[in-house]
Amino acid sequence: MNYNYRYRLRPSDALEEQLAWTVNTCRQVYNHFLHRLNRTDDTSAYSEQKLLPSLKKWWNDLKHVHSKVLQKVVQRLYDNLSTLRGRKDNGYRVGTLNWKAPGEYRSFTYSQSGFKLKNTSGRTRLWLSKLGEIPLTFHRDLPDDAEIKTVTVKQEPTGKWYAILGVETPDDPPEKPENPERYVGIDVGILKCAHDTDGTAVESLDLSDERERLERAQRDLSRKQHGSENWEKQRRVVAERHAELKTKRRDFLHKLSNYYATEYDFVAVEDLDAKGLVELPGNSRNRAGAAWGTFLRMLEYKCEREGTHFVAVNPRGTTKECASCGVSTEKPLWVREHSCPACGFEADRDANAAWNILSRGIKKRLGAGRSESTSSESHSDSDGLRKSLSDFRTPVETALPVDTSVSAKRVVESGSPTLKREPSGER
Question: Where does the pLDDT of residue 94 fall: very low under 50, low under 70, confident under 90, or very high at 90 and above?
Answer: confident
pLDDT digits (tens, 9 = 90+) for 160-214: 999 999 998 887 778 888 888 888 998 888 778 888 888 888 888 888 899 999 9
Task: Give me the amino acid identity at 76.
Answer: R
Q: Is the pLDDT at 370 greater than 60, yes or no? A: no
416: Cβ–Cβ under 8 A, 6 or more apart, which residues? 255, 256, 258, 259, 262
Contact (CB, 8 A) for 7 and 162 = yes
Biggest distance spanned by C-alpha atoms of the chain: 80
Average pLDDT over residues 328-346: 80
More confident call, 314 vs 59: 59
Give residue 411's pLDDT: 54
Is 309 exposed, middle or buried, given 0-12, 13-18 or 19+ CB atoms closer than 10 A? Answer: buried
Average pLDDT in the 309-323 region? 86
Q: How confident is the model at residue 281 (pLDDT cuts 50, 70, 90)?
A: low
Q: Which residue has the higher pLDDT, 53 or 346?
A: 53
pLDDT digits (tens, 9 = 90+) for 350-367: 888 889 899 888 888 876
- Report in angstroms the alpha-carbon separations of 393 from 381, 396, 402: 18, 9, 17
Q: Where are the alpha helices (DSSP H) in 183-335?
A: 208-222, 229-263, 274-279, 284-290, 292-306
Q: What DSSP string describes 191-226?
A: SEEEEETTSEEEEPP--HHHHHHHHHHHHHHHTSPT
Residue 6: per-residue pLDDT: 94
Helix (H) or strand (E) holding 47: helix 45-49
Q: Give the model's pLDDT for residue 9.
A: 95
Residue 112: count other Cβ atoms within 10 Å of its Cβ. 11
Residue 283's H or E segment, with its range, is none
Q: For the segment 125-156, what is each residue's pLDDT rounded down to a tens digit?
A: 999 999 999 999 999 888 888 899 999 999 99
DSSP 115-184: EEEEEETTEEEEEETTTEEEEEE--SPPPTT-EEEEEEEEE-TTS-EEEEEEEE-SPPPPPPPSS---EE
Closest by alpha carbon to 45, among 37, 55, 56, 35? 37
**CA gyration radius, the chain:** 26
Among the listed residues 109, 101, 83, the one whose alpha carbon sits nearest the alpha carbon of residue 31:
101
Per-residue pLDDT band at 404 (split at 50, 70, 90): low
- Give the bridge partners for 134, in sequence order: 126
Check if the beta carbon of residue 184 is closer than 8 Å to that of residue 357.
no
pLDDT at 254 over 80: yes
